[in-house]
Structure 1
Amino acid sequence: MNRLIVDSLFDFNRATVKSFSSIFELHENENECMPGFKKGIKKLPVPDLYYVTRSENHLQLLETIREQSDGVPVYLFVPMYDSKNRTSKFDKLQQVIFDKMPINWIEVSTGMICDLKESRNLREKNLKKLKNDFGYNEESLQKLQNESGVILAQGKEFTIKTLSTPEEAIEIAETYYEAFFEGEELPKEASQYYAQYLLKSKDYEWVLVKQDGKVVSCGQVIKGKETASLFSITTRPNYQGRGYASMVVTLLLEIALLNNYQYCVLQATMEGRPIYEKIGFEHRFDIQVIGTLRDLNPIVNKIENWFGIYDIDYQHYHPVKYYGKMIGSAVVGLGLTGLLSYSLVNYLNK
């Protein structure tokens, strides 16, 4: 079961690479999955592809990532992590990773799995509401096999449908960016990339909530080799608390059932775990996600050649080295300033 959760990340990478075929390439073997940009592509804020390893040879993977992806987000999933039962083996590995990688941020995700048939009764309340209040019926899901832009439910203020236009693909990216980057606007280059997104694929399906003429909530189901998996469950901040995400997840799980999957998996936030448990997902293990983005902090970029500082939180992980270098550099700077002042005074007194 746990293997299916890690496998879903491989499935996600394959599907995403296919949907951006002009931008990404994929290097994959039995134990590692490493997507990268093709030549000429320097940086892409979204989507967030996952660098995954099944083996314990994380350092080799890290070196490869550093070579091909300097300056872009990197996510390393370490499935052995457990927030309640941390092992000394994990702590030693984590310290090595900190030393080798320009760590920018760390968060804990929770790997979850759902038996779609056994848990369907837990979603009946959502399904009844969709049917009785918003006109959803199972026949609409049958259209997904051949059509895009299928209307699944209709409320007075919103429409739930599947992806159909490049503009909607761009709005998905905007929704994600607004939710996770504190209201910042989607960069123009990312918008151009999403305009190329493959709208219809046998590998995935998007369910969107549209209101006020734009996508305000969304989610994706990946149709993997052995299991379905959910990704990018996102709602714009100003539209949260209206039940949109619950409706999106319910419909995505119905799509997974329609495609004859027994299980669906996801990587939820720790805050989102109780919500998914209510609709049938079971917690299996925690995942530590390690991210790096060197150009997030312009100060770091300007001084890294002087001080050897490679990440925003360097001072937290290596305080002695960090403050030692800062103090040493300050002493050298004061010494040079004093020497120049002394030389200048002597010159003026002659």
Structure 2
Amino acid sequence: MSETTSCTTNTTYSLNSIINQQQKKLEQENADISYSIFEMNQIMVRAIPTLSDLQETEKESINCIKPGYEELDEPNPTYTCRDDITNFELIDLVEKQAKRSLVYLFLPDTKCKTLLVENGRVEQQTEKMVQEGLLDSEGRLTKYQPLYERLGQYVTDYSVYHGMIYYLREEETSYMKSKKEMMQNTMGYKGILQPFQISNGENVVCQLGNDFVMKIVETREELIQVIDCMQETFTDFKSGPLTAEVMNNTYPLHSDEFSWICIKDLATNEIATTGQVFFGPRTCYGSNLCTKPKYRGKGFATVMMIAMLELAKTRKDKYEYIVIQASLDGLPIYDKLGYEYRFDFEIMELNPQANSDEQDDAAATTVSKL
């Protein structure tokens, strides 16, 4: 073999090796986006073992609500599975939970990308996914047809969400830098874990004008208000007395495995916007970002997105990235902040009242959970 041929062969081998390594890294990251829901379930059961029970197989997970707690508005049973699942072993348990309480299903498909995202611009390619057999004519993931057939009578809402990843150790985008500078210059922001005290004695991380503050949730009343914010945003249900009792007496206010951030209306003590970050053994996961309808249009969601990233970065020595599922509305901002879109999830809501004659119209048009 000539020297030139040997050099070419070695170069080709090196390129192939690099490509293989990149592909393995991509597959691992996508697996972590899906696995973050497994870890969220594990964390929630560790947090509230008296009312929640974990059921897992190698490829499925659901945190079940124990008998006697069916009227809980939050937390709800959450089911998820791995992308390569072929046999739904926990489907009987999912249906059993759906007969008793709200259940959310997070269903990933790493091959399905209904969007093209670049520089904050989003283009639909749903028809392409239909042609490739990944979506049916109704825009639903075809690989989960057995679940649709079995659980269809309980479904009150389904939506496509988008698995995304943000690298915590990479340089921030210019958009992210400009937003943080604005928070520092106009809101008194010094750092997500560097609060300052305002006139009423509260510890806050930034002040949004005269009427609103951002802070880490630190009281039981704030926690109950956070749940109210989530319920008003994600569903048409309000937190009932059982949920308030659980939040007061059972749900941990502080945990090394998760933190709540909120934007609070000082005039009413109402929570306008929430966000939560889970710190699992393997994944860092952002969830439950929502703003009550009457507070929208003030830029609170963008500030909360940044705060959640800032909180995740306090542990970037452990985590290389944070993962989320984003709605279509929020995706352009996430993209400008530096998130990378990977693949789609279908999120389904199952409701035991789905076939009830007494169910009102609002409950049938529930907004999907983040």
> Structure 2 length normalisation: TM-score?
0.73
Cα distance change on mapping 1:110 and 1:89 into 2, 3 Å: closer
Q: Pairwise mapping of residues 69-88 of structure 1 onto structure 2 (< 5 A)? A: 69-80=98-109, 81-83=112-114, 84=126, 85-86=129-130, 87-88=132-133
Shift of 1:237: 0.9
Distance change in 2, residues 1:237/1:58 (3 Å)? farther
8 Å Cα contact 1:163-1:206 kept in structure 2? yes
Q: Provide closer, same or farther for how the CA distance between residues 123 and 89 of structure 1 changes in structure 2, counting only shifts above 3 A.
A: closer
The CA deviation string for residues 128-156 of structure 1, in whole angstroms up to 9 with x for no partner, is 11111111113x6168xxxxx85211242
Which digits, 9 at most, give the CA deviation of each residue in 1:75-125, with x for residues without a partner?
A: 333312543324447655443322211333221111111112325234111
Letter in 1 for 2:341: H
Match of 2:284 among 228, 231, 239: 228
Match of 2:350 in 1: 292
- Equivalent pair of 2:39/2:283 in contact (CA under 8 Å): no
Is residue 112 of structure 1 aligned with residue 140 of structure 2?
no
Amino acid at match of 1:75: Y
The CA distance in 2 between the partners of 1:38 and 1:58, in whole Å, is 25
Give the structure 2 partner of residue 67 of structure 1. Answer: 96
Question: 1:176 — aligned with what?
Answer: 230
CA distance in 1, matches of 2:344, 2:134: 16
SS at match of 2:90: helix
Query: What is aligned with 1:251?
Result: 307
Q: CA deviation at 1:69?
A: 4.3
C-alpha distance in structure 2 between counterparts of 1:207 and 1:68, whole Å = 29
Greater shift, 60-69 or 7-16, is seen at 60-69
1:6 is displaced (CA, Å) by: 0.6
Change in 2 beyond 3 A, CA 1:228/1:238:
same
Summarize the Cα distance change of 1:222–1:169 in structure 2 as closer, same or farther, 3 Å threshold. Answer: same
2:230 is the alignment partner of 1:201: no
Matches within 5 A, 1:96-135: 96-101=146-151, 102=153, 103-121=155-173, 122-135=175-188
Please tell me whether the aligned partners of residues 163 and 324 of structure 2 are also in contact (alpha carbons under 8 angstroms).
Answer: yes
Looking at structure 2, the residues matched to 287 and 123 of structure 1 have their Cα atoms a distance apart, in angstroms, of: 26
Query: Contact 2:72–2:240 at 8 Å: present in 1 too?
Result: no
Superposed counterparts of 1:125-204, under 5 Å? 125-138=178-191, 141=193, 150-155=203-208, 156-182=210-236, 185-195=238-248, 196-204=250-258
Pair 1:248–1:288, CA change in 2 (3 A):
same
Shift, 1:60, TM fit = 2.2
Count matched residues: 297
**Percent of pairs with identical residues:** 27
Deviation at 1:300? Answer: 8.1
| Partner SS for 2:88 | helix
> In the alignment, which residue of structure 1 is the partner of 2:336?
278
Q: Is the 8 A contact 1:53 1:61 kept in 2?
A: no
Q: Which amino acid aligns with 1:201?
A: S
Segments of 4+ in structure 1 off by > 6 A? none
**What's the CA shift for 1:157?**
1.4
Is 1:214 aligned to residue 270 of structure 2?
yes
Letter of the structure 1 residue corresponding to residue 290 of structure 2: T
Counterpart secondary structure, 2:285: strand
63, 67, 74: which one aligns with 1:46 = 74
Structure 2, unpaired ranges of 5+: 1-28, 115-125, 137-141, 196-201, 366-370
| CA RMSD across the alignment | 2.5
Letter matched to residue 95 of structure 1: Q
Higher helix share: 1
Structure number with greater Rg is 1
CA contact (8 A) 1:162 1:207 kept: yes
Alpha-carbon distance in structure 2 between the residues aligned to 1:98 and 1:7: 22
**How far does residue 68 in structure 1 lie from its aligned partner after superposition?**
4.2
Partner residue in 1 for 2:327: 269
Q: Which moved more, 1:78-87 or 1:4-13?
A: 78-87
For 1:141, what is the secondary structure of its paired residue?
A: coil
CA distance in 1, matches of 2:34, 2:143: 19
Q: 28-37 or 68-77, which moves further after superposition? A: 68-77
